[in-house]
């Protein structure tokens, strides 16, 4: 009479092989999770950067299209005063501001680039302008940070030749008393990521710009 066969268990080799396969599967799963999280983080960073870019450029566009041909201050020589000044690092112009930015009315806008290297900042200062006089607030109002961690910021200007009426070339400085540039370009390159699309804004023009009364 034959004995019933005993139930056969797993050998040590089979157990080790199953353990290795399980560990490999878990490693692949963790790698996939890490890759998914990294892709998600990069996507969120890109979306945040794009939102920041749109907000800053939209704000600057609204400020520039609101520019008015008013004298920046009354300490200029008699005749025609500067209504807009610009360099590679700074531009100054007058524009009305909404209530949430100040008391309302015309303000001198000072858009400037500060810092160096990959830590440059783009800041905006606002000073109330009444009767051609700058009125400093008490306590003094500091400039507002628009963007930081920037690698490069370029401010450029393009105007209309008053003699020929033709559009001139782009230039790094604007110092034409009584006249505003026709176009202003702001090019921003962040320290990390691609350059922002160039912001080119057409400024309002007026034949009576900068005249004293």
Q: Where are the domains of the chain?
A: 54-202
- For the chain, how long is the longest CA-to-CA vector? 129
Query: How far apart are the C-alpha atoms of 155 and 170, rounded to whole Å?
Result: 10
Alpha-carbon distances, residue 139 vs 111, 157, 183 (angstroms):
21, 34, 35
Q: What is the pLDDT of residues 106-136, one digit of tens each?
A: 899 999 999 888 899 999 999 988 777 787 7
Asked if residues 83 and 72 have their Cβ atoms less than 8 Å apart, the reply is yes
Q: Is the pTM of this model over 0.85?
A: no
Residues sharing a CB contact under 8 Å with residue 134, sequence separation 6 or more, in sequence order: 73, 108, 127, 128
Q: What is the pLDDT of residues 81-115, one digit of tens each?
A: 889 999 999 999 999 887 766 667 889 999 999 98
pLDDT at residue 206 tops 60: no
* % of residues, the chain, pLDDT over 70: 79
């Amino acid at each position: 009479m034959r004995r019933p066969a005993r139930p056969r268990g797993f050998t040590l080799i089979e157990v080790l092989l199953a353990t290795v396969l399980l560990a490999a599967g878990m490693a692949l799963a963790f790698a996939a999770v890490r890759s998914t999280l990294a892709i998600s983080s990069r996507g969120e960073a890109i979306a945040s950067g794009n939102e920041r870019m749109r907000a800053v450029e939209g704000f600057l566009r609204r400020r520039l299209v609101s520019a008015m041909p008013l004298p920046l201050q009354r300490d200029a020589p008699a005749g025609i005063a500067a209504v807009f000044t610009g360099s590679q690092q700074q531009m100054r112009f007058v524009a009305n501001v909404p209530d949430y930015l100040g008391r309302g009315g015309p303000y001198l806008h000072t858009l400037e680039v500060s810092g160096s290297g990959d830590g440059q900042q783009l800041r905006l200062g606002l000073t109330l302008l009444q009767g051609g006089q700058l009125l400093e607030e008490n306590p003094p109002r500091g400039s507002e940070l628009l963007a930081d961690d920037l690698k490069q910021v370029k401010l450029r200007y393009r105007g209309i030749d008053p003699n020929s009426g033709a559009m001139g070339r782009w230039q790094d400085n604007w110092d034409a008393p009584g006249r505003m540039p026709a176009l202003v370009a702001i090019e921003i390159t962040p320290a990390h990521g691609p350059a922002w699309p160039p912001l080119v804004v057409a400024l309002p023009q007026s034949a009576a710009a900068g005249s004293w009364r």
